[in-house]
């Protein structure tokens, strides 16, 4: 009975810590889940190695999704953005505040557009600022019953390199092109003014001067998104992360499934 109460207590403590808003508390909660799993298998078997194996099962849970759903996905090689109305922003945390923050920072609204990727709807609200030489976007994502929003700020230098700061909450599901430099900030940092400050600091850290950046063309923002996505797909085809199907779509290869598993593990450890 004592062992049972210890395991139950550890799981309750882990759930409480995981519901905290503080990142450190959530990380401790994840460790508590691992320790509770270790204790469960150890108390049953009396073997330390069985306890370690039981705790390690958490890291193999993503394979259920990878083998049952992701492996069957077929995604279009060519995908076009469509002008569409942004869904009710009340379903997307901090989306209204982010758009308001962009306008307060004198970013000008350009367009609303979106596309669909294997059951996921992505909606973009695009802004630009000629003096900042930057493009800002609020992206709203919908997949089944899951909805979230994130912010990105993008600058391009005269050499064609893309410098992006974003609070996107997950690790990328495709390898980024070499010319894209990604500055990931914690997802709880949802204030646009703070993310803009981080973007400026990021450019300064990379020793990119304002004069080195290109002034965005508001007429080509959507074309640039499509072009960047196609370049990323081509890069992942060359890397073997994805491969073409007979229908002209693409899907994840075995190497790509391993890559996704590694990305899942990074998300589990980072616990944004």
- Nearest to 135, CA basis, from 206, 226, 222, 204: 222
271 pLDDT band, cuts 50/70/90, is low
- Would you call 124 helix, strand, or coil by DSSP? strand
pLDDT cut 90: percent of the chain above it: 49
pLDDT cut 70: percent of the chain above it: 97
Please check the confidence at residue 45 and state whether its pLDDT lies above 90: no
Please check the confidence at residue 88 and state whether its pLDDT lies above 70: yes
Mean pLDDT across the stretch 83-111?
85
Q: Residue 128: what pLDDT?
A: 96
More confident site: 60 or 119: 60
More confident site: 4 or 154: 154
The residues spanned by each domain of the chain are 2-60, 77-219
- Nearest to 70, CA basis, from 115, 116, 121, 118: 118
Distance of CA 51 to the CA centre of its chain: 32
272 pLDDT band, cuts 50/70/90, is very low
Degrees, nearest 5: CA angle 192-263-137: 25
Q: Residue 8: what pLDDT?
A: 85
pLDDT digit string, tens, across residues 227-248: 999 999 999 999 999 999 988 8
CA 197/CA 216 separation, integer angstroms: 19
């Amino acid at each position: 009975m004592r062992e049972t109460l210890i395991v139950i207590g550890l799981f309750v403590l882990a759930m409480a810590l995981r519901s905290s808003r503080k990142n450190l508390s959530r990380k401790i909660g994840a460790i508590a889940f691992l320790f509770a799993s270790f204790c469960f298998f150890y108390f049953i078997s009396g073997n330390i190695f069985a306890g370690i194996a039981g705790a390690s099962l958490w890291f193999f849970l993503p394979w259920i999704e990878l083998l049952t759903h992701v492996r069957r996905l077929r995604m279009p090689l060519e995908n076009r953005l469509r002008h569409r109305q942004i869904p009710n922003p009340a379903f997307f945390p901090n989306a209204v505040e982010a758009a308001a923050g962009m306008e307060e920072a004198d970013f000008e609204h350009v367009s609303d557009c979106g596309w669909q990727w294997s059951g996921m709807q992505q909606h973009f609200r695009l802004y630009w600022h000629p003096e900042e030489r930057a493009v800002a976007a609020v992206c709203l994502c919908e997949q089944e019953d899951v909805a979230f929003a994130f912010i990105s700020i993008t600058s391009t230098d005269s050499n064609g390199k893309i410098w992006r700061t974003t609070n996107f909450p997950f690790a990328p599901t495709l390898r980024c092109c070499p010319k894209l430099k990604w500055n990931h900030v914690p997802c709880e940092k949802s204030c646009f003014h703070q993310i803009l400050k981080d973007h400026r600091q990021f450019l300064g850290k990379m020793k990119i001067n304002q004069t080195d950046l290109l002034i965005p063309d508001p007429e080509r923002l959507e074309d640039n998104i499509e072009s960047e996505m196609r370049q990323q797909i081509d890069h992942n085809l060359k890397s073997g992360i994805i491969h073409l199907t007979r229908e002209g779509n693409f899907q994840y290869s075995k190497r790509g499934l391993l890559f996704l598993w590694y990305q899942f593990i990074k998300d589990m450890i980072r616990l944004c």
